[in-house]
Amino acid sequence: MILPLALVQMTSTTSIEENLTLAEPLIREAAKQGAKLISLPEVSNLVQIKRTESTKEACFQEEDRFLSGCQSLAKELGVWIHIGSCVIKLPDDNRMANRAFMIDDQGEIKATYDKIHMFDVDLEGGESYRESTSFKPGEHAVTVETPWGTIGLTICYDVRFPHLHRSLAHAGAKVILNPAAFTQKTGEAHWHILLAARAIETTCFVAAAAQTGHHDDGRDTYGHSLVIDPWGKMLADAGTTIGIIRVDLDLEDVTKARAMVPSLQNGRDFSLPNN
């Protein structure tokens, strides 16, 4: 089974309408190049570090123009679109959801996933992030059935939590999507090696569409959208430019890798240290 995949790398802004305008030609180009699953980065619809401003701009799911625009594009182009995440207002919480969407080729939402792990950190130079202040953490791991088999959904900071990825592999995933808006500093240090590690230990393809460059809210993101095979080999790296990368994934490679290193089968339960 071959999965014709494209990753979109973009520099989202503080305007939902503008971000749809930025994403649409990239999605169309990916479809023109033969992609049947097109994956977008984290917070594709809205990059806004100021909580008060993001609350003003964000919409409820049924009102989000970026989401509905991607649904229309998926149906028109006959492709599946994975929105790495959208910033979505919640009816029952004053925080928002950082929510991924998998849209089928009829424009229907097949699955959603709310980011579980929140990036709360103080970096050198005064740069600080408190995702848990603005976003309600998700509580459920998610896989989605597609024409190419089971795909696992994660978002950005989730890449640092191996147990989530292994749970997706145990649930049948052969491909794990890890869209991101990684910071420049942490991206330079850890991005490539973390994604490679998740691919190796799950014997899955890992595909990560990323935000890149300087955003109008003041932040800088690392770029380097990546596709990595189950053996840890880098198949594609988008660098730091806006655009797409196109890769055909042979899912038989997952079966071969798992036969050579059956770590998913060999895992055992164990007791924790008594400290």
Domain assignments of the chain as residue spans, ordered by start: 2-262
What is the distance between the alpha carbons of residues 27 and 25, in angstroms, rounded to a whole number?
5
Q: What is the pLDDT along the chain (275 residues), one digit of tens a residue?
A: 999 999 999 999 999 999 999 999 999 999 999 999 999 999 999 998 777 888 888 999 999 999 999 999 999 999 999 999 999 999 988 899 999 999 999 999 999 999 999 988 777 777 677 788 889 999 999 999 999 999 999 999 999 999 999 999 999 999 999 999 999 989 999 999 999 999 999 999 999 999 999 999 888 999 999 999 999 999 999 999 999 999 999 999 999 999 999 999 998 989 989 86
C-alpha span between 152 and 142 (Å, rounded)? 6
Superfamily of domain 2-262: Carbon-nitrogen hydrolase (3.60.110.10)
Cα first-last separation, the chain = 48
Angle at 94 between CA 93 and CA 100, to 5 degrees: 70
Catalytic machinery residues: 42, 115, 156
Judge contact between 105 and 113, C-beta under 8 A. Answer: no
Which candidate, 141, 147, 211, places its Cα nearest to that of 176?
141
